[in-house]
Structure 1
């Protein structure tokens, strides 16, 4: 994924796993920590008989400010109500978290009871009520226990206070409790940014605009759908406007199964490759986000990284290469075929217009929905900051809409949109390559081969000179250079260009049947599987924590050559399936069941991170990380993603496709075919 969110965590897990306290004094200190009762109970007992003077908030002035006075009054009332056994006061203490068990196995969270805290609303007078305020207490227990590894990741414990109190005031009170219990100062903090109350933030103008815009689109689609259903008897005579906005019409297009015999230009196996790639993308992101959740066995990831199966997740970047390969193939094959009909004419500006009409509005709406609607549809203990990239979107949303975010900034709005930037940049230069291939044929193809070699050499030299690494155990937490290299166009251009050349090969040999003997076919499939296996598992021996690290030369060769090996293996799969040598692979990849999901894959890619982040931050209790639970989470996230993608396909992508069809003219078939090419290119990360 674009942002390697787990690097710092993995480094911390290594230290946790390596810690082995053997000192008798450490054991006693640890036993003392485990004897600590739930923090809410300790806090209530410690302050149960306090007076206003005892609750020292360290006021800067002689007379407390209004907010501090309100907090003081509410805290005194809370303690009095606890002594009286009032239900609301006991709920406030009951919702606290505790020192989590399993600290040495990576359990760094106790989420308490989020909803119990926020639903507290005790009416004190006609003008004042005490509401619950949920905050995270962050404590580094390494100094307390004498285990430095525990300082790498602080323990986060839920607390609940009156909403009138600030995090700084509560930090002082809880700090005194820790100091009294342990006899020393510990690194403890309560950050106001982690605090939440039941009162949501008022909607700003952009939120209102987003909601109104989506509501209008829903209304328009609903109106034309009802019009289509009740008033249009003949579906063959629908007006272009009704076809564009009717959910009935767009659903018919989405779920239509096209037979290959009806269109000899269709390559059926591409649907399966595209769908398997988008599933791989979503599954990888689900696993990586799952590893950052409040898992009770965070240290398990330390051993999980060493398992062969983890390589499928950690090397999910090859799904990117699959999409680049498909994109280059379709642009070349379909555009060159249309150029044959128009004697080499190609309207590049109209190509770009079709591309922008299909992609840019969806991307712009996604930015608004991620930023403004995510806080409205979800909430939870971990949702205090809203969408994780809100600040990046506020500062640099325009870079994303200009498709240069992969070079212009390191804080990308919609981090997974970096692929769109690379794909658009390659698409912009495609008319030059198309015209060159049409005019100079194999000579231009030889130049493209040379370009692939030069780009591969550039990647190799960049890694060698800067000593870049993509192995987790060798990366530092702030290694942004690798992050920039990961998103660079020149790193991913080779698979696109290989697909482009392969599309040219298919164009030259369209309709031709290649006769291959059994030895050649088996050799081709063996080489294909060998390239796939090497790309995925060649680093497995070196990825183990205790194994010798690869040299920069070895890593550079691996990442340079696998950028070529993966798309070359895909060339064989497509070729074998088209020529009738695909066997079971062709039966699987060419199944018509893939076609609807293939058409939805762009929407799935755009919206899947919305569902993944919402479900990750919506948890109320700690989770357990394993391959099985990750698979369960994947099917949940993927299912809701497909539903969300279908809905937004009907209100955004489908109408845009209808509008795009209105731009087509009969005297510009080349543009139409290139548009069809671009519409089938779906994105991934």
Structure 2
């Protein structure tokens, strides 16, 4: 019976294919005649248009034609120049495809066609009548975007900062050549020479947790690899039907679990925030939040400016609309949400700088951690209790959210991805557990330092047990989801709620082993000097990497074949470019502004505020106002 069914389906698909091919051939004949007679002043335009793509049943939905040939076409024989106009159309066919899950879907073909620039969207639809066209997928030199005011503003800002950097660098070079030490440090804050020295400075101090540098660097490379694969799925692939099989193979699970790398950064952020706050004698919550905002925002603001203005001039291509829809339009509409760090709640599915939702979570976690430590600093037990309570509450809330999403998803799959991102993936309350676990790790490390047993050595059995637990935590978080695909909704929701926390426990275990000098060769590897340099670039890499990947994929002019080898090659190539871009961004914006902020705040606290306070009859000490004591 099964054999007969398969035979029937094969015959049906074959007939549909033959009918489609015959129809398309007749269609091309009509197009060729009508195009050459009425709309095409040159055979180049017809040559640049798509024909019938091959490999449709392998997932090749695209025949892009020749974008450059069409876009660069100019006919100067008329009174005014006539340019080529390229439009990517979509044709819904009656051919069907059955994916690995048994779901049947109709095949839609995407074909690029070329007419002259006088042709409207209606003209394309009349001639290529089987296709649907939209204006965002049409490109012509005649309709190139003009320079807008925001573009000029962005260029002016970048130009001013570049001029300041060049001037400061030249001044620093002159002083270095003459052997003079400047009396005004503010003059060399923007010096590329000085900031490059800071960038490449390394340390072997045992007081620093150097293994964090390797963890951060590996995590950002993991994120790049995943986003490379994610964005490539939106590109013109010739073997799209190979992707479901690729995604379900166990050995490829490490790619899709790269989402856990974000939880690594949250865990490390929670731990470092706790350790740095506990070193302070007095904590001014407002001042700490302002410092954090000024630390994160300058580079992010430049990225927002670029996304909303000059990014549209960075390339073109048949698939350029993915840059418009994913990067440009969200920033033109929702830029203020990103700069206020509320995008993960207000517009999680279309936020400006899409990956910046993490920065909102990080900012919210920092605010909560600062408040907890400032209010409960004198009682370590209370801090542990409150932090553990928030962790468990976050896990419980996440479980109920995931259970509801899984239950709804069984009957309605159309909005499950949207709802999952809005309710589970980006909200701060579902992301709190890793950050809070990082705080608990920081509190535990502080207690170790206070008890002066930081160099305690574990026996080989104890070390093996801890490392086994750490590796088990990481493995369970990464691969357990593959074994739960057929389990009950409650069990899958439980995994969704706890696997991030389990991952964080694994990361904390590794850090603690390195911190207590039980890391061995792993600690030596994670503490390599190259990681110390690259870890300083992780923030800028995170801000700009998604844009670079989109620009690369959206600029493709031909159909490409997907394979893991090609993905690796593209990822490493992109990573080199990202490191270069991040280095420039760090030299011109991140390091100088961070140093300038510290310099200005130091001047305000040491010089301006004390003078003001003396006139008001108050004193200023470590960010705290107080009245001077009076004697009777």
Among 453, 456, 467, which residue is 1:514 paired with? Answer: 456
1:438 maps to what in 2?
377
* Matches for 1:375-394 after TM superposition, within 5 Å: 375-384=312-321, 386-387=323-324, 388-394=326-332
Segments of structure 2 that go 5 or more residues without pairing to the other structure are 607-619, 624-632
* Matches for 1:216-227 after TM superposition, within 5 Å: 216-227=160-171
Per the TM alignment, residue 562 of structure 1 is displaced from its structure 2 partner at its CA by 1.3
1:204 maps to what in 2?
148
> Which one scores higher on RCO, CA 8 angstroms, separation ≥ 6?
1
* Matches for 1:345-424 after TM superposition, within 5 Å: 345-384=282-321, 386-387=323-324, 388-410=326-348, 411-424=350-363
1:190 maps to what in 2?
133
1:31 maps to what in 2?
18
The separation in 1 between residues aligned to 2:159 and 2:553, in whole angstroms, is 27
The answer on whether the counterparts of 2:32 and 2:46 sit within 8 Å (CA) in structure 1 is no
Alignment partner of 1:141: what SS? strand
1:253 maps to what in 2?
198
Distance of aligned partners of 1:443 and 1:137 in 2 relative to their CA distance in 1, 3 Å threshold: closer
The separation in 2 between residues aligned to 1:21 and 1:356, in whole angstroms, is 64
The separation in 2 between residues aligned to 1:20 and 1:539, in whole angstroms, is 35
Per the TM alignment, residue 335 of structure 1 is displaced from its structure 2 partner at its CA by 1.5
Residue 50 of structure 2 is aligned to residue 107 of structure 1: no
The separation in 2 between residues aligned to 1:146 and 1:323, in whole angstroms, is 43
2:479 maps to what in 1?
537
Per the TM alignment, residue 393 of structure 1 is displaced from its structure 2 partner at its CA by 2.0
Q: How far does the alpha carbon of each residue in 1:276-325 deviate from its partner, in whole angstroms, 9 at most, with x for none? A: 11111111101111122111000000101111233222222211111111
* Matches for 1:637-648 after TM superposition, within 5 Å: 637-648=574-585
Q: How far does the alpha carbon of each residue in 1:30-60 deviate from its partner, in whole angstroms, 9 at most, with x for none? A: 235446788996355432785xxxxxxxxxx
Among 286, 292, 309, which residue is 2:251 paired with? Answer: 309
1:93 maps to what in 2?
46
1:161 maps to what in 2?
115
1:566 maps to what in 2?
503
The separation in 1 between residues aligned to 2:117 and 2:35, in whole angstroms, is 19
Residue 427 of structure 2 is aligned to residue 496 of structure 1: no
* Matches for 1:439-458 after TM superposition, within 5 Å: 439-458=378-397
**Superposition RMSD in Å:** 2.7
Per the TM alignment, residue 552 of structure 1 is displaced from its structure 2 partner at its CA by 1.4
The separation in 2 between residues aligned to 1:37 and 1:466, in whole angstroms, is 43
The separation in 2 between residues aligned to 1:435 and 1:112, in whole angstroms, is 63
1:337 maps to what in 2?
279
The separation in 2 between residues aligned to 1:658 and 1:154, in whole angstroms, is 54
Per the TM alignment, residue 470 of structure 1 is displaced from its structure 2 partner at its CA by 9.6
The separation in 2 between residues aligned to 1:109 and 1:235, in whole angstroms, is 64
The answer on whether the counterparts of 2:311 and 2:328 sit within 8 Å (CA) in structure 1 is no
2:626 maps to what in 1?
none
The separation in 2 between residues aligned to 1:113 and 1:331, in whole angstroms, is 53
2:73 maps to what in 1?
120
1:47 maps to what in 2?
34
The answer on whether the counterparts of 1:604 and 1:642 sit within 8 Å (CA) in structure 2 is yes
Among 88, 102, 107, which residue is 1:136 paired with? Answer: 88
The answer on whether the counterparts of 1:243 and 1:250 sit within 8 Å (CA) in structure 2 is no
Among 550, 560, 570, which residue is 1:613 paired with? Answer: 550
Distance of aligned partners of 1:424 and 1:413 in 2 relative to their CA distance in 1, 3 Å threshold: same
1:69 maps to what in 2?
none
Per the TM alignment, residue 466 of structure 1 is displaced from its structure 2 partner at its CA by 4.2
The separation in 2 between residues aligned to 1:620 and 1:288, in whole angstroms, is 19
Alignment partner of 2:139: what SS? coil
The separation in 1 between residues aligned to 2:546 and 2:26, in whole angstroms, is 35
Per the TM alignment, residue 465 of structure 1 is displaced from its structure 2 partner at its CA by 3.7
1:486 maps to what in 2?
425
Per the TM alignment, residue 29 of structure 1 is displaced from its structure 2 partner at its CA by 4.5
The answer on whether the counterparts of 1:324 and 1:495 sit within 8 Å (CA) in structure 2 is yes
TM-score by length of 1: 0.81
The separation in 2 between residues aligned to 1:330 and 1:190, in whole angstroms, is 52
Distance of aligned partners of 1:40 and 1:267 in 2 relative to their CA distance in 1, 3 Å threshold: farther
Q: How far does the alpha carbon of each residue in 1:9-46 deviate from its partner, in whole angstroms, 9 at most, with x for none? A: xxxxxxxxx99873646524423544678899635543
Aligned residues: 592
The separation in 1 between residues aligned to 2:21 and 2:57, in whole angstroms, is 12
Per the TM alignment, residue 329 of structure 1 is displaced from its structure 2 partner at its CA by 0.5
Alignment partner of 2:112: what SS? strand
The separation in 2 between residues aligned to 1:614 and 1:669, in whole angstroms, is 50
Segments of structure 1 that go 5 or more residues without pairing to the other structure are 1-17, 51-71, 82-88, 176-185, 340-344, 544-548, 672-685
The answer on whether the counterparts of 2:307 and 2:331 sit within 8 Å (CA) in structure 1 is no
